Structure formats: C-alpha cells, structure tokens
Structure 1
Amino acid sequence: MTLAVYGLALAACQPSEGALSPQQTLTSAPQLSVIVEDMVALTSAIETAKPGDAIVLANGVWTDAEILFTGSGTADSPITLRAETPGQVILSGQSNLRLAGDYLIVDGLVFRDGFTPTSSVIEFRRSYTELANNSVVRNTVIDGFSNPERFETDSWVMMYGRNNRFENNHLAGKGNQGVTMAVRLNSEASQKNGHVIANNYFGPRPNLGSNGGETLRIGTSHHSLSDSLTVVENNVFDRTNGELEVISVKSGRNELRGNTFLAARGTLTMRHGNNNVIERNVFLGDGADHTGGIRVINAGQQVRDNYMEALTGTRFGGAFTIMNGVPDSPINRYHQVRDAVVENNSIIGSDRIQLGAGSDTERSAAPQDSVFQNNLIAREAEGAVFQVYDDMSGITFTSNVVAGPGDPVFDEGFTRKPFNLSREANGLLYPPSDVSAGAPRDLVVTTLSDVGVDWYPKAPATVAFGSGKILYVPAEEGAILAALNSAEPGDVLSLAAGRHQVRKTLKLDVPITVSGNDAATISFERSALFQIENGGSLRLEGLKITGEDAPDMVGNALIRTSPYAMTMNYRLEIVDSVVEALDVNRFFDVVRGAKGTMADYIRVEGSAFRDISGSVFKLDAERDDFGRYNAEYVTVRNSSFEGVQGPLAALYRGGRDESTFGPHFSLSNSELTDVGNGGRNALGTSLWLHGVQDTDISGNTFANSPAFKIDHTVGEPQTDITKNRFEAVPAPEVMEITSGLPPQARIGENEGL
C-alpha cells in the first residue's frame, strides 16, 4: 500500500458544494451611497443612515480609526459599511471596529500595520447589552494586526448576539496571546445564536509556546452547558499552529462541517459542551510535526464522514483521540465521554489513535455507551493500531476495516483487508469499491481558492535561508553592516576571506544567511554581534567567530533576541562554524533568548565551541511557570564543546499547562569536554532541561563534566538517553517533579556509567 503525501495547494479539488456566498444574504441594492474620507464624516454618516444606505470608506490608509457602526436595517434593506475598492481601505495603527444593531453589513476592509487598542479588532457588540444581530462581516482581512507584547491578550474577532455571519474573510499572522476568533455565550442574548462562520481563510498562526493560541473557540467553560447552535463550514485552516487546540468547542449543539486543515499543528477539540456534530472535514497533515485530527470529550458527540491523512501528532494532539473524563467533573475539567458516535471516518497514514487518553488518578472515567463503527484505518507502520489507556468496554466496535499491518487490540468489530488505496478525483485516498468503510466518496474538499478573498494573497511559506540573492562582502570596516542594510529576505552575505571587524551590533528583521566560505573570521566590539528582531532569522555557515574584542563586561552574547517581546518566531542555524574566546568576562553566552521571544527552531551542526564563560543555549527566561518557553526545537548534531563554563543548554518550561507540544531537545554524535565546571555555574550541571517534552541524547561523548539534569513536569515527557560514552561524568539525574513516580527516562546502552 502506498500512502502518497497530499500537497497543500489542493488546486485540483472541486469547489465546495453548498458553499455560502455573500450574495445569499443581505444584498439588496442600497437606496443611498455616500463616500466618507475621515472619521468625522464617517461618524455623521453612521448617525444618519437609514435602511438600505451604503456608507463607503474612501480608499487610503485610515490611521487610528476606532469605528462604531450602529444602525437598524431590515432583511430587505440592510445598512452597509464598505470599502470604496475592496482591499484599498487600510485600517492601521490603533484601529478597530464595533458593530451593534440589526441587519448591518461590513465589506472589504483591511486591518494591517497596527493592533487594536481594545480587547478585539472586530466585535459584534457595542456594550454588554447592545449587540449585533442578523449582521454580516465579509470580504475583510486582518493580517498580522498583533499587539507587540507577545503575552498581552486580545482577540481579532468576537461574535455576540444572534444570527450573525462571518464569511469569506482572511485572518492570518496573529502573533500575540489570545484566540484569533471566538463566539461568546456570556449572556442569554448570545446563546442559541445560530451564527454562521463560513468560507474563511484562517492563515498561518505561529506557535505561541503557551496556552491561549487557539484559532477558533466557540464558548467558554463557564457557559459550556449552554447550546450555541453555531455552524462552522467550508473554511480552510492553513498552518494554524498557535497551540494544541486549533478549534476549541466549548458549548453545545454546534455543527462543524466541510472544513479543511492544512498542516495544522493541533486538533479540532470538543473541549466542553455536548451534542456537537463534526462531519465531512478533511485533515491533511502532510507529515508535518504535531499535526492532529479530532479529540472527543463530553456527551453526545457525533463524529462522522471525516478524512484524516498523514497526521503525526501524539498524545492529546493525535490523529484521533477519545479522552478519559473526571468523575463528577467540575465544569472546567474533563466531562466523561458518553453516547458518542464515531462512524464512517478514514484515518490514513496516521498512527496515533488514542482511546482513554489522559487516564490517571483524576481522569479515571472511561468512555461509556459509545459506538465506533464503519471506520477505515489504513496504515504502513507495525504495532498496535490503537493506544489504549483504560477499559474500553464502554465503546462498541462494529464493521471497522484495517488495511495494512498492526493489531487492532479488540476481539470484535474489525476486519483486516490487504488492499491498496487509490486517489480519486477529489484528491483523497479510497479503498476498492467493495469496501464501504471510511469517508464517503462524494466528500468535497474545501480548497484555498474557495475561501477568503481573491484580491489579497494567501500567506506564503516561510522564506527559506539562501533563497535570495548573494551579496559579496569585502573584509572592510562597516561592510557587513552596509550589506545587511540592503539585504532582502532570504539573501546571503558571502564574506571574503580575512578578518571582518564589526563595531556595531547587527540587527536582523528578515531571514539572512552569513557565510564565511570556511575562510572568514568575524570579531565584534559590542555586547552582542547579532540581535534578532521581529521578523528576523539567521543562518551562520562556514565562519570562525571570536569574542576576543568584545567589551569586558558581564553578560555578553554572540546572538541575542530583542530585549522586547517578539510576536514573530525566529529560526537560527549554525553550521560548519567555529565559535571561540567568549570569555572576556562572566556569563558570555552564545545564544540568549529574552522573555517573550520564541525560536521555532535552533539547529547546530558540524560546529565547534570552545572557551565560553556562559552557556551555549541560554533559553530559560520564562520562569513565571505559565507554561511558556523560549524555543520549540533545539537540535545539535556532530559538534564539539570544550571549556563551556555554564551548562551547554539551560532550557526551561515551567507550569502545568498541557496546551503546548514542546520544547524538544536533541543532542547526537557530539563531544562535550569540561562543560559546566565554571565556579559561577549555580546549576552545577552540564545540561539543564526543565519541562522539556521530548528529549533525545544519543551517540555522544561526555568527559570531565558534572552530571546533566532533566526535570519532567507535566504530560507524558519522552526522554531517551542511549548509546553515549561517559568519561569521569556522573550518571544523568532525572526527576519527576509532579507525578512522584520513579524516573521515567529510558537510559540504556551507555558506556562508563
């Protein structure tokens, strides 16, 4: 069986049947159209607007525009607020929009280059009691309109009232804490609301590294026993990687159907609330890390006709998960799964199907009175089909089909059929026609071309290092800075052979490669050589870097992040380079991350580090124990470290929150000699990993160094310490901080312990 990875473009897929068009609602021709050019004229026009009127915002940039759009239209004659030309009215600076009243339309605006001064960018209310009803926001863009303080919370869209629609909009690039879009049920007037969220493009959201990064939330735990009756259909969630829950359903009787998830880290989670319907959605992981599918909690959930392919997520972020609950659960914890129906779903090339997930002394209530039937599971991996954490006798398994290897574990309800899958016209994989299990063959995939607006580009992929032009830099004073000032994203600064003396800190706000071609040396005279700003990323290749000319002061760094919070994550690579003589004074680090900054990854390969008075990776600034951290992946391969006085890495994630995936740490085929022996190393360790979720330390040599320390905190941390050689180094110290269990790390095949 061949499981080809499904591409993200989906260009060949058909448009969605039943897709909602803006022409279907509130589109009567206006009786009066007036163009306004400033806030005074706009306010006056809104105050005098009558049913059927259209208020037109003149093209241009509207800075610090706080718009309150109120009025009472009718179903046949709504009041419209629209752009003169869609996409050419830019709301920037401290701008936002509130709408309140009946039968209002907002159309064609762009929020960019700023952030909201209040708690929301668009809000379907004026006050707690003055709400919007029967109103529409459509063809509107919110792009990177994020508060510059990473953990200052706001939301982009908050829906209140009843019978409102949010359709054909484009939301991408939210970098600060807070849900991208939420449906609120905090009063009776907003419950049983009948909202429709359709045909929207939810574009990339960077990994927040904390709870509070959902893309869509429907309700809150406080009102989760209330019904929302919200429909979420035919949207695309493209690389929406904020946190574990891409969509968090926290209310009852919602319908989520026809949505497509493209390489989205996390899951559609029925976190609270009962009797929701999840149907005909498509999850395409493309093999990307931590991509997930559907997570089931609570009572009466219907999960049917969904398609999941190439999803790699684990634990609560797996391809398909049914959770254990808490007996007599408080409203904000985990209610037991009861009366769930899971049928006619396809789970293909995705090996994490978990039943009873989260089972522990608190979450001890296994699923009851539920059905798992007519599902197709197609896989290539050996081993158990399911990860089962508790007694699953409360689930009845019927007429399911497993294609490929693996043991379903259960005695009844599964048929093993050796067959190949083939891609059909909709781009999805199906079994032979005589197999009825799995997603329906008429499933229509919502594509990128079906959603958002056609006049604003969908978010591109990350700019790759080396994808731009090459800038040749002579070994002259100021030459690197001059080249950097003219560089564009993806460019390469190719340094001439010789010594490059840098007298100013080099600040990066775009992805840049600096290459020395194994013949260039950089020395620097400021407290840092590189400072990564918002939007910046850095690759160092074939360089020798010395700190011998750095100022004689405490706390220098070769590479540091901005001292201010950053809403855009950065990437850092150090390849085939030598870093030495960072020891003019105490605590001279190679890489230091500030509070409120986050690396998507830091990768070191084929490099040598010697004579460092601090740490190589100082990534422990988030000490508030809120579940935050400074780097998602730290990967070191084929490198050497000698005379590093602090720990090689200090990587910290505190708190007990379970809404994130990382950090991840990997150290392989490297040599550590005399690391962590500095007299001012208060940690007394050669490596300190606190709260890291995934650790792999293998094939290394450790010599003349103190033990390294690993603290397991929440979740199910995976730690492997294998095939290393220890010379005059004590055994690793692993501690289970919260569980009280014996150390859970897998330690084996090591020499010298």
Structure 2
Amino acid sequence: MRLINLTIIKLSLIILGCISTATIAKDYFVDSKQAYIDIASNLKAGDKVILKNGTWTDFEILLQGQGTEKSPIQLIAETKGKVILSGQSNLRLAGHYLHASGLVFKNGYTPTSAVIEFRRNKSELAYHSRVSEIVIDNYNNPDKRESDYWVALYGQHNRFDHNHLVGKRNKGVTVAVRLNSEQSQQNYHQIDHNYFGYRPTFGSNGGETLRIGTSHYSLTDSHTLVENNYFEQTNGEVEIISIKSGKNIIRNNVFFEARGTLTMRHGNGNLIEENVFFGNGVEHTGGIRVINKDQIIRNNYLEGLTGFRFGSGFTVMNGVPNSSINRYHQVENAQIENNTFVNVRHIQLAAGSDAERSAVPINSVMKNNLIINENNQQPFTIFDDVSGIKFSGNVANTKVLSNVNYGVKQQAVALKRNDAGLLLPTSNKVKAGAKTDLTVISKAETGVTWYPKVPAIIAFDSGKTHTVKGSAQALLSAIENAASGDVLELAAGQYDVSKLVIIDKVLTIKAGQHAKVTLTFQRSSLFEIHDGGSLKLDGLSISGESSPDSAGNSVVRTKKWGMVNNYRLVMMNSQLVDLDINHTFDFFTTGKGALADEITLINNKFNKVSGDILRLDSEIEDLGIYNADYVTFTDNSFSNVSGSLIKLYRGGTDESTFGPHLTMTNNTLANVGLGKRNKSNASVYLHGVQVTNIDSNTFVKSAPIVIEHTVGEPNTLIVNNTFDSTEEPSVTELRVAGPHTATLKNNKVIKN
C-alpha cells in the first residue's frame, strides 16, 4: 500500500511539473520596439514572441534565452511576410534552441556586420537554433564598398533553411559560416532548402554567395551540410560557394545559370555529390573547382556550362609547393567519379600552372565519368603534368587529348531527357556518369511560398508605350510619370532640356516613326543614371550646342559616387554632334563605384567630340575593381574625336572576376584619339580587360589601339581590321615576362 502511494505521489509531481512548464510558457503579442525590449531579456523555454504586422523601422532585434529541443523560444510574424524590417534593422540570436521565422528585411541595410547573426557578441553565441522562412530582399548598404554579411553563422548545430535571399549588391558574402573560435568549429550547421536569387556581378573580389570558413582557419573541420538549395543567377564573382574548411558536405543543390563555380578553395576532405548545374549556354557559367587534399566529387550532373579557366565547367588546380595557408595547396587524393558532363565546354586540369603554382595534382583518380559534347569538341585543356590523375572507365563521345585517352573510351552515346530534366543515356549498357535516379530540387521547393521569385532584371521595352509631344516640359513630365520598362516615343521637334534628367527607372526614349527628334541640353549633362536606372536611346539626334561653355560636359553620366545598383546603357540609330563647345566633352562618363552590366552602342554616328566617347576609368586604386562588365560597339562611325573611343581600366592582381569584356565590330574611326589632352595617346585604351574582340573595324588617321595585359590570362583577339595611316596595335604584358599573348591576324596596315 505504501509503495502504491509513493508511486501516485511521484506521478502527481511529474504531472504538476508538466502543467507548471506549460503554464510558464507564454505568448507575447508585441506591437512596439519598447514592448519587445520589455520582455526580451526574460524569455523562457516555450515562449513565443509574435510581432505585429506592419513596417518596423530601425529595429535591432536580439533573440536570446535558453530554450529546449521540445520547447524552443520562438520569434514569429503575426502573418508571414507582413512584418517588414526596414531602415537599419537586424536580428541576432544568442542562447540555445531559438527559432526566428516569417520576417522580411527590405528597404534598408544592417547597421552592424550582418543582417542576421547567430551570436550576440564574441562570447555569446547561438546553439541548436534555427532561422527559417525569412526574406532578405535588396537590403544593401548604399556604400557598395562597405562590407557586411547578410547571414553569419556562429556557434554549433544551427540551421538556416527555407529562406529567400535576393539582390545582394554591396561587398560581402551573402551567407558566411564563421570558424573564428573553438565554439564555432566542428559546428555541424545545416543550410538547406534556401532560395539564393540573383546576385549581380560585383566587379571585384567580395561577391561570394556562400562561404564556409576563411583561409586562416581552413585546416579546421567545419562539418557543415549544404543541401537542397537553389542558386539562380548568383553572379557576384568567380566563387559562388567558397569552401575554406574541411569535412563539409555539399549535396543535391541546383545551380541555374549561375556565373561562377563551387570552389574548394581551402580545406580538406569535403564531399561534393549529387549537385546539378544548368548553364543553358550562359557565358561564364561554371561547375566545380578542385584544390587541396582528400576531396570527393561524385554523382554530379553538369550541363550547358561555358566557363573557362578558373570558372570552367570542371577545374583541377595546380598548387604552390609548401604553400602558405592562404595560397593554393596541392591537389592530392582527389576522387572524381561518376559525374556527367553534357555540353561542358571546358574541363581544365593543372589549371593556373605558372612559376608559383608548380605543384601538379598527385595520387588522384578520375573514373567512370560520362563526357558528352554535341558539337563534337573535346573539352580537355591540360596546363601541366597530369600523370598524378589516373583515368579509368570514363566514356566520351569525342576523342580526347593523348595525355588522358588511355582512360577515356570513345563511344557514341544517345541521350534522352528524363522527367527531372536531365539528359541520360538511353542504353543501360553505359555504366559511366551520375546515377540515373538523381533527384533535382525545384525552385518552388526552396525559399518561402508567400514571397514571389520575380525576374532579376526589368527588360527594356517591357512596359507601356507613351507618346510625348514636342516640348522639353512634356518630356520631363513623361519621364517622371513613367514606370520601369516603359517606352517614351517622342514626336518630331527640338527638345531643349533645361534640367539635369535623373534616370532612376528602366526607360527607353526613342523617336517616333519617321520623326526627326533633336535633343539639346543646358546643363553639364543631359542624363544622370541613379540606382534603379537603366537607359535606352533610339533614333535620336543629340547636340551639345546649348551646353555650358565649360570643360567636362557629358551627354550621359552616372551619379558621381555612391551607386549600389548595376545599370545598363544602350544607344542605337542615333546621331551625336557638336560635343565640342569646350574641351573634354565626353559622351559618357562614369562615377566612382558605378558598374555597368552593359554599355552597347549600335549604328550611331558621332562627329566633333572634344573628349572621350566612353570614359570608364574611375577605379585607379588597382584593387581589381572596374566600371563596366560588357561593352559593345557595332556598326558605328566616329569622326573628329579628340579623346579615345573608350578608356576601360581594371587594375590590380585580383583573379575573382570575369570582366571586363569588350566587343568592337564593324566600326569606322576617322581622326580619333589625337587630341593633345588625350593622355593615353590611344583611340582605344584597355588596361586589365579580360576578354577583348576587335574585329573588322577601320581606323583612319587615328591614334593606335593600346592594350595592357595584367592578370587572369586575358583573351585578346584583334583580327580583320584596317589601319589606314594609323599605327599598329600596341599590346604589353605588365605582369608576365615574354611576348604578349594577344592574337593579331589578318589586319591590314596602310602607311601614307
């Protein structure tokens, strides 16, 4: 009887304890920052904080406390997506078993080093905590060079999942796993089911989407799992994922039209498996880059990748003998097996080989891979001794290089696209390649369901067309009232614009059909491009006759400093005259820090310009920064231009970018570049440009082309041009001994 009573008492105490715990846990509905502050330091296991719907400005949230596995402390939105954190807001988590979800960060930037940080300070970190269903949308510091993270993971056993991150434009990694203390090492974090949307070209180092570790701690193991994420057009720099630690697993992620690579930059013993890369032929789309020891790369599917060199579809690097921790360690014991490469333009082995990077790959294998190129071009490029990579069981539809053909069987392989979107062999006799039941996570399965995954860039001419009557005031009013993507079609007449026109939306200004439209302007510039702005001009006549009689005018310019958004400028079928009212009158000049995704000039005529056509040389600190990614001249004529057609500058030794790119085809230059103020003494001046194609142009009585190669193995092609009373092009290697690497052929030089 006594035993029964004791049992009843113990059970009663357990029941009372459960009731007590349930009673202590509270729900707090918070409607102000002060209300949150009042309860934030006293949160207990099982407590739930509900933020009222609305916009919270300058709200720095600290979620702290000691939850439990079954009773975490939660911070949620009243309605998912309806709680907007703007201005200078952020979120920090410190403690155990914390969970934040449902919030949106936009229209502002973090006042600290991260938007979301899994720590309060260096000693108070987060453990077993989770951030899910949170959106960070274009939440950028207005100073593009000011670095911050969007997410910084510290502590151990934390999870970042089902989040939506799009539009990081200022310097800094989108998501960083930090290993800078013992409490954050061997962390076993999980990063899964996130949507990593468009990250525009940053134009220098510092644009990675995900980084795990840093070089300083790269010999430390992280044990971070990255799986089931979707990377769409994450174009910040050459490294999309930068692994700088050991024992990480990168699995079942999709990379869609993403310019760059999954790079094992530092650290050993990482597993890269079952990832899918869809390049769709987009320029600079890459795959996987291998460095360091004991890396396993298996069962990955790579298709339609065009990238080359460090950004190629597949790269095995050379290392530096006895490398310092921050350089390139030798590839050793890499296991590269059962991967499928379809229409992958470049597979590069011993890449980066030079006087410093002379340690070739050793003790590695490349076996049972399937390599199919429908254009019948073999993809391998070999830069050094690759005998340390043993080939076996590989199948290719083309004959490959003699160095590796002993382990690659040439075989015709028919492919058929399966329901998952992968091209697989129709015959089960082909044993090479990724497994046939490879799963492909869809974009819809990642991120959140309640926030749209909209196109990254608003296209020109995608909106409404508005007719503008022939007056400057009508034009200014139409620009003010237009929406992004709209077209302003101008009636015939002269538009003498007295104000600087700010372009902060995507806008096309064109002449109406058969209408003769002339624009003149009374300020030092006609158009100034600001954040959010891109401009297309079509069929116009633009004259500098009404411009101020002072030096330094321009037709178009960007903000002089402080742009964080990339922009586009297109002009076609237009005439530009009398840009010579004083000296140094440019067509276009860039502000510092501005980066054009595209500047395109097609079928235009320029006459009497006292400055340059394109002035793209404001970044002179030699930090790898530049002002335009793609510049294209097609079918234009330039006459009596005192300055250069283009001055495009990218200095420094950084190798993390793909650009700049210049394409110049079928243009005519007469008396270009000979002005006494043209210090470059060039009609075309290119410094550090990575890809140059100057083809079928005519230069008459003009200054020469001057090209200065720096780093990155630049690809320069100058072919089929006529140089009439014009010196031959000058190409100089500034950092590599020996003759220049440019291709000059089929050019005609006429000396009078």
Shorter-chain TM-score category? over 0.9
Deviation at 1:382, TM superposition (A): 4.2
Aligned with 1:538: secondary structure?
strand
Deviation at 1:44, TM superposition (A): 1.8
Alignment partner for residue 681 of structure 2, among 658, 679, 684? Answer: 684
Identify the residue that residue 652 of structure 2 maps to in structure 1.
Answer: 655
Q: Is the 8 A contact 1:29 1:52 kept in 2?
A: no
* 1:425 pairs with 2:422: no
Deviation at 1:30, TM superposition (A): 9.7
Deviation at 1:681, TM superposition (A): 1.1
**Structure 1 segment 252-331 matched on structure 2, within 5 A:** 252-331=246-325
Q: For 1:552 and 1:331, how far apart are their aligned partners in 2? A: 57
Q: Which amino acid aligns with 2:337?
A: E
Q: For 1:174 and 1:612, how far apart are their aligned partners in 2? A: 38
Identify the residue that residue 449 of structure 2 maps to in structure 1.
Answer: 454
**Range with bigger deviation, 382-391 or 632-641:** 382-391
Identify the residue that residue 139 of structure 2 maps to in structure 1.
Answer: 145
* 1:99 pairs with 2:93: yes
Identify the residue that residue 708 of structure 1 maps to in structure 2.
Answer: 705
Length, aligned pairs only? 726
Aligned with 2:277: secondary structure?
strand
Q: Is the 8 A contact 2:344 2:379 kept in 1?
A: no
Identify the residue that residue 397 of structure 1 maps to in structure 2.
Answer: 391
Q: Is the 8 A contact 1:30 1:54 kept in 2?
A: no
Aligned with 2:183: secondary structure?
helix
Q: For 1:100 and 1:664, how far apart are their aligned partners in 2? A: 46
Deviation string for 1:239-287 (max 9, x for gaps)? 0000000000000000000100010000000000000000000000111
Deviation at 1:708, TM superposition (A): 1.7
Aligned with 1:752: secondary structure?
strand
Q: Which amino acid aligns with 1:199?
A: H
Identify the residue that residue 6 of structure 1 maps to in structure 2.
Answer: none
Identify the residue that residue 714 of structure 2 maps to in structure 1.
Answer: 717
Q: Is the 8 A contact 1:383 1:407 kept in 2?
A: no
Distance 1:29 1:265, change over 3 A: farther
Alignment partner for residue 476 of structure 2, among 481, 484, 489? Answer: 481
Alignment partner for residue 111 of structure 1, among 105, 113, 130? Answer: 105
Identify the residue that residue 630 of structure 1 maps to in structure 2.
Answer: 627
Deviation at 1:679, TM superposition (A): 1.5
Q: Which amino acid aligns with 2:694?
A: I
Q: For 1:71 and 1:461, how far apart are their aligned partners in 2? A: 38
Q: For 2:588 and 2:151, how far apart are their aligned partners in 1? A: 37
Q: For 1:274 and 1:419, how far apart are their aligned partners in 2? A: 35
**Range with bigger deviation, 383-392 or 49-58:** 383-392
Identify the residue that residue 27 of structure 2 maps to in structure 1.
Answer: 33
Identify the residue that residue 485 of structure 2 maps to in structure 1.
Answer: 490
Q: Is the 8 A contact 2:709 2:734 kept in 1?
A: yes
Deviation at 1:371, TM superposition (A): 0.6
Q: For 2:100 and 2:344, how far apart are their aligned partners in 1? A: 41
Identify the residue that residue 226 of structure 2 maps to in structure 1.
Answer: 232
Identify the residue that residue 445 of structure 1 maps to in structure 2.
Answer: 440
Q: For 2:211 and 2:306, how far apart are their aligned partners in 1? A: 23
Q: Is the 8 A contact 2:507 2:536 kept in 1?
A: yes
Q: Is the 8 A contact 2:102 2:134 kept in 1?
A: yes
Aligned with 1:40: secondary structure?
helix
Distance 1:447 1:29, change over 3 A: farther
Deviation at 1:40, TM superposition (A): 1.3
Deviation at 1:405, TM superposition (A): 6.0
Identify the residue that residue 5 of structure 2 maps to in structure 1.
Answer: none
Aligned with 1:189: secondary structure?
helix
Q: For 2:503 and 2:398, how far apart are their aligned partners in 1? A: 49
Deviation at 1:76, TM superposition (A): 1.1
Q: Is the 8 A contact 1:297 1:334 kept in 2?
A: yes
Deviation string for 1:203-254 (max 9, x for gaps)? 1001000100000000000000000000000000010000000000000000
Q: Which amino acid aligns with 1:752?
A: V
Alignment partner for residue 693 of structure 2, among 665, 687, 696? Answer: 696
Q: Is the 8 A contact 1:380 1:404 kept in 2?
A: no
* 1:58 pairs with 2:55: no
Identify the residue that residue 8 of structure 2 maps to in structure 1.
Answer: none
* 1:195 pairs with 2:192: no
Distance 1:384 1:286, change over 3 A: closer
Deviation at 1:564, TM superposition (A): 2.4
Alignment partner for residue 152 of structure 2, among 146, 155, 158? Answer: 158
Deviation string for 1:530-561 (max 9, x for gaps)? 11110110111111111110111111110101
Aligned with 2:216: secondary structure?
helix
Q: Which amino acid aligns with 2:646?
A: A
Q: For 1:537 and 1:679, how far apart are their aligned partners in 2? A: 33
Alignment partner for residue 43 of structure 2, among 39, 44, 49? Answer: 49
**Range with bigger deviation, 668-677 or 680-689:** 680-689
Deviation string for 1:489-521 (max 9, x for gaps)? 110010001211111111111110010145211
Q: For 2:239 and 2:208, how far apart are their aligned partners in 1? A: 6
Q: Which amino acid aligns with 1:112?
A: K
Alignment partner for residue 365 of structure 2, among 368, 371, 382? Answer: 371
Aligned with 1:149: secondary structure?
coil
Q: Which amino acid aligns with 2:280?
A: D
* 1:472 pairs with 2:467: yes
Q: For 2:428 and 2:377, how far apart are their aligned partners in 1? A: 27
Superposed CA RMSD in Å reads: 1.2
Distance 1:461 1:121, change over 3 A: closer
Deviation string for 1:409-430 (max 9, x for gaps)? 4241111111221001111001
Deviation at 1:408, TM superposition (A): 6.4
Identify the residue that residue 7 of structure 1 maps to in structure 2.
Answer: none
Deviation at 1:29, TM superposition (A): 12
Q: Is the 8 A contact 2:461 2:508 kept in 1?
A: yes
Q: Which runs of 5+ in 1 are unaligned?
A: 1-27
Q: For 1:323 and 1:473, how far apart are their aligned partners in 2? A: 57
Q: For 2:251 and 2:77, how far apart are their aligned partners in 1? A: 31
Q: Is the 8 A contact 2:524 2:548 kept in 1?
A: yes
Q: Which amino acid aligns with 2:447?
A: G
Q: Is the 8 A contact 2:639 2:672 kept in 1?
A: yes
Deviation at 1:169, TM superposition (A): 0.4
Identify the residue that residue 207 of structure 2 maps to in structure 1.
Answer: 213
**Range with bigger deviation, 217-226 or 506-515:** 506-515
Deviation string for 1:466-487 (max 9, x for gaps)? 1111110111131111000110
Deviation at 1:31, TM superposition (A): 3.4
Deviation at 1:461, TM superposition (A): 4.0
Deviation at 1:721, TM superposition (A): 0.8
Percent identical among aligned pairs is: 52
Aligned with 1:354: secondary structure?
strand
Q: Which amino acid aligns with 1:76?
A: K
Identify the residue that residue 385 of structure 1 maps to in structure 2.
Answer: 379
* 1:555 pairs with 2:552: yes
**Range with bigger deviation, 192-201 or 461-470:** 461-470
Q: Which amino acid aligns with 2:354?
A: D
- Higher RCO (CA 8 Å, separation ≥ 6 residues): 1
Q: Is the 8 A contact 1:374 1:437 kept in 2?
A: yes
Deviation at 1:729, TM superposition (A): 0.5
Deviation at 1:86, TM superposition (A): 0.6
Q: Is the 8 A contact 1:382 1:406 kept in 2?
A: no
Identify the residue that residue 503 of structure 1 maps to in structure 2.
Answer: 498
Deviation string for 1:658-703 (max 9, x for gaps)? 0000000111111000001112112211110000001111101101
TM-score when normalising by structure 2: 0.95
* 1:513 pairs with 2:521: no
Q: For 2:283 and 2:402, how far apart are their aligned partners in 1? A: 24
Q: For 2:475 and 2:469, how far apart are their aligned partners in 1? A: 8
Q: Is the 8 A contact 2:376 2:397 kept in 1?
A: no
Deviation string for 1:553-583 (max 9, x for gaps)? 1111101011122121111111111111111
Deviation at 1:166, TM superposition (A): 0.2
Identify the residue that residue 434 of structure 1 maps to in structure 2.
Answer: 429
Q: For 1:29 and 1:661, how far apart are their aligned partners in 2? A: 59
Q: For 1:46 and 1:103, how far apart are their aligned partners in 2? A: 15
Q: Is the 8 A contact 1:384 1:408 kept in 2?
A: no
Deviation at 1:298, TM superposition (A): 0.2
Q: Is the 8 A contact 2:605 2:638 kept in 1?
A: yes
